[in-house]
Amino acid sequence: ASTAPVTVLGLGPMGRAMGHALLAAGHPVTVWNRTASRAATLVTAGASLAPDPGSAVGSSELVILSLTDYQAMYDILGGHTDALPGRLLVNLSSDTPERTREAADWAHSHGARFLTGGVMTPPPTIGAEGAYVYYSGPRPDFEAHSAALSVIGEPRYLGEDPGLAQLLYQAQLDVFLTALAGLLHATALAGSGGISAAEFVPQALETLTGIPAMIEDGDALGTALDARSHPGDLGTTTMMGATADHIVATSAAAGLDLVLPDAVASLYRRAIRAGHGADNWTSLIEVIRGAEV
Ligand code: NDP
């Protein structure tokens, strides 16, 4: 079963990386992509390029989709639904949990089974140590195919709700995209003083990678957030909020875009207004959750 045939629909950087990893692990791989030329390196490596999506889906019980969004799945498979009965569609594309649940219903209505996934690694580290993928949907389908899926990355099963893997993917990308935007804003801020990006970025990365040590104990942080406990003995929302305001003022003086620092400062100001000034910065979550305005 570890060398079961696999079909990959969508050959962007991610789909191509998955196809190569599956071939390297000995799986017969069938591919299809709207732009056929993107299949070239996979075909050289031994993949079969299907002439149309219907025959691609017909080649394997396990069909992996790696597309920009869920609309692309309907665009590709909408005219080939007679190929779907008995297939397991594993959609590893980004979209909202709601769109994902609708897609699971759509697949079921055409006789297919459906798993959702969120790939938590970039293409170069697909299949490498540390790569993992969130999945949700029917557990028996996940377990039946986990050998092939583990070629892409360590599979982490979350539960039956097809929206769950998508939700966790969005949550992780929330961390990621916000951090990346912060990194770029900070680089522009340093640049306003003549510090080049080449000089600043390695220092900013020290801050990013130092965050876990500053938090000290991620489990304790999670438990405190669940308990809505925000003791401010080592630092307060008022102190951090003052710094957030200074970043806005310095950015304004430098003529930089203010959307990002304004958003951060706004969270601090509203937490302070709601009475959390003497609490820890973690009190911002009360504003974010909507408990405070
Ligand atoms: P790309 O945008 O490069 O590839 C998207 C694929 O979707 C291509 O095969 C493209 O076809 C196809 N596609 C898009 N719209 C349509 C459509 N309407 N009809 C038919 N085909 C369509 O994305 P990636 O490969 O980088 O990523 C794929 C998924 O993986 C995304 O959902 C992304 O969020 C996720 N992901 C990506 C990571 C990354 O670092 N790249 C990391 C983690 C997750 P064509 O080639 O013809 O344009």
168-288: CATH topology is: N-(1-d-carboxylethyl)-l-norvaline Dehydrogenase; domain 2 (1.10.1040)
Is 67 within 8 Å of 16 (Cβ atoms)? Answer: no
Residues with CB under 6 A from ligand 1: 10-15, 33-35, 38, 66-68, 72, 75-76, 93-94, 119, 122-123
Residues in the chain: 293
pLDDT of residue 157: 98
Residue ranges of the chain assigned to CATH 1.10.1040.10:
168-288
Confidence category of residue 233, pLDDT binned at 50, 70, 90: confident
Going by CA atoms, what residue is nearest to atom 14 of ligand 1?
68
Least confident of 134-143, 177-186, 245-254, 282-291: 282-291
Distance 7 CA to ligand 1 centre (A): 16
Distance 65 CA to ligand 1 centre (A): 9
97 pLDDT exceeds 70? yes
Counting atoms of ligand 1 from 1, which one is nearest the CA of 14?
25
What is the average pLDDT value for the chain, to the nearest integer? 96
Distance 94 CA to ligand 1 centre (A): 9
Is 100 within 8 Å of 164 (Cβ atoms)? Answer: no
Residue ranges of the chain assigned to CATH 3.40.50.720:
6-160
Provide the strand spans (E) within 94-238.
113-119, 132-136, 154-159
> Mean pLDDT throughout 69-77?
98
In angstroms, rounded to a whole number, what is the distance separating the alpha carbons of residues 198 and 187? Answer: 9
> In CATH, what is the architecture of 6-160?
3-Layer(aba) Sandwich (3.40)
Least confident of 142-151, 219-228, 263-272, 274-283: 219-228
In angstroms, rounded to a whole number, what is the distance separating the alpha carbons of residues 11 and 5? Answer: 17
pLDDT of residue 1: 46
